[in-house]
Amino acid sequence: MAAVLGIAAVVTVVAIGAYFMASETLHDSVRNRGETRAFQVANSGLELELATFNSDNLDDYPKNGTTEDGSYAVTVQQLDAYEYIIQCRGVSEGASEIVTQRFFYLNLWDLNMGAGEGASLGGGSAWNGQATIDGPLYIRGDMEWGSSSNYYGGPLFIREGKLITTHGGAGCDLGTAADPVRVYCTGGTVDLHKIDAHIDGPVRTSVPDIELPWVTSDYMDAAEELARKESTDNKMGGTASSAPNTETVIIHLVPQSYADGTTIPGRRMADTAPAGTSDYYKYRGDAGGHGPLNNGTHTLDIGAASFGAWPGNGYDAASATFDDFAYDAGTGTLYVNGTVLIDGPVNILAGVNNYVGNGTLVCNGDVYIEGNLVPRDGLSASEALGIVTAGDVWLHREAMTGAVFCNGTFTLDKPGTVYEGTVLAGVISATSPNITLRTNPILKDVLPESMPGAGGGLIFPGTWSRQ
């Protein structure tokens, strides 16, 4: 009888132990499920916030949100002009998890970029001959700096290369004591003691890998379609414009040809413009469409003879109305509004003194600039010019203000040239001394709509962690 009772006691103890083990396993399972769901909520919240993040809306944080599995809270901290850290805490079934992400948020048109595959700051010693670069800069490959040249503002991003300083001499600056430069460089620095270097904190080695939205045949197709459409809409400018003009009325054209004598097409009423023709004055090319990429055959010289209509020539002198593409040789004013496509190289001659309008000049060939391409009344929403090509751009004049995008090389090749705005290119090159390359913070807000990469910033993720 005692043995039977002993066996029963053992069985009871085992049963109780098994019960508590099962309860603990169930508790662990519920806890693990809660942690898993909390992590999923946190991760989902982080991804949702990154997908809609805009640096202009930092005051919106902290903010809260929900998913099907729980709720989350998000905070964002700005570490530098373009670097941020976002943290999201997710809660589900009584459990909580935190995920953290460092990231760069860049508007491409806020900084100059040489983002080709090789060394993208070209020109050798020319950049080291009293040159000045002022504002954010992103390049691939080594950056050599010295010989009384100056870099101010920043940040400076160097991907797949080093910051190498050569002999400095008097007045060779990298930042100033009052305004040091934040440097991001994957390859580190060499001989910084040779110049007057002022770096904001340690050199960061995390640099976003930026691939520019290069000009392709698809981009050219879209630009041509837009240029044709805008040629007969009787509106000034691009798709968002409501200001009227009378570009489809042929009688006001004085003269009716480009500088090379070829007739300016278009000026047909929108309801009678035949499909499949080249009769669109904002598209200069064959009726069948533009040629192969960067190999158009319709070269255009701008700056010798007038074409199109503007106030006092086809429009009332007191008005602010003009054709979307025109040139007044009397004043040297180039008018560009909306999207204009030239299926070939473009030469902007020395006669050009300024421009009016917010527009993009898309060129299917190289661009050579001898004129002063500066806004007549100052950079603004009504005066901002962009140039786009899959080829190269040469700036051989003292001044240009605006935007340039080229797959090839952007070259500043005249002593004393000042470029203000943004260049996105495979290579940014200088072949003469005393060059100035300077960003303008207004540009990204007034950028012509057909410029590649227009429309806001881009997220470049960095390190990620879970807590």
Please write the tens of the pLDDT for every residue from 289-335: 999 999 999 999 999 888 888 898 878 889 888 889 989 999 999 99
223-231 average pLDDT score: 91
- pLDDT for 22 beyond 50: no
Cis peptide before 155 (omega within 30 of 0): yes
Q: DSSP labels for 71-138? A: EEEEEEEE-SSSEEEEEEEEEETTEEEEEEEEEEEE-GGGSEEE-SSS--EESGGGGGSS-EEES-EE
Please name every residue paired with 92 in a beta bridge, in sequence order, or none if there are none. Answer: 95
DSSP, collapsed to helix, strand or coil, labels residue 280 as coil
- Lookup: tokens for 301: 């010289």
pLDDT at 273: 32
370-374, 430-434, 438-442, range with the lowest pLDDT: 430-434
Q: How many CB atoms lie within 10 A of CB 66?
A: 12
Reported as a pLDDT band with limits 50, 70 and 90, residue 72 is very high
Reported as a pLDDT band with limits 50, 70 and 90, residue 253 is very low
CA distance 107 to 452: 12
Residue (of 104, 346, 318) closest to 210 by Cα position: 104
Reported as a pLDDT band with limits 50, 70 and 90, residue 116 is confident
Contact 85, 77 (CB under 8 A): yes
Rounded to two decimals, what is the model's pTM?
0.84
Indicate the average pLDDT of the chain.
84
- List all residues 6 or more positions away from 209 whose beta carbon is below 8 Å from its beta carbon: 159, 460
Residue (of 47, 129, 29) closest to 90 by Cα position: 47
- List all residues 6 or more positions away from 414 whose beta carbon is below 8 Å from its beta carbon: 395, 396, 397, 398, 432
Query: Which parts of 319-417 are beta strand (E)?
Result: 325-328, 333-336, 338-342, 346-348, 354-363, 367-369, 383-389, 393-395, 399-412
Secondary structure of 121-177 in the HEC alphabet?
A: EECHHHHHCCCEEECCEEEECCEEECCCCEEECCCEEEECCCEEECCCCCCCEECCC
- pLDDT for 249 beyond 80: no
- Lookup: tokens for 146: 């010295």
CA distance 285 to 343: 5
- pLDDT for 17 beyond 50: no
Structural domain boundaries in the chain: 2-106, 116-197, 217-390
Residues 138-197 pLDDT 10s: 999 888 887 778 899 999 999 999 888 876 655 678 899 999 999 999 998 877 777 788
pLDDT at 259: 56
- pLDDT for 450 beyond 90: yes
What single-letter amino acid sits at 225?
E
pLDDT at 269: 29
DSSP, collapsed to helix, strand or coil, labels residue 209 as coil
Residue (of 74, 114, 49) closest to 407 by Cα position: 114
CA distance 280 to 267: 7
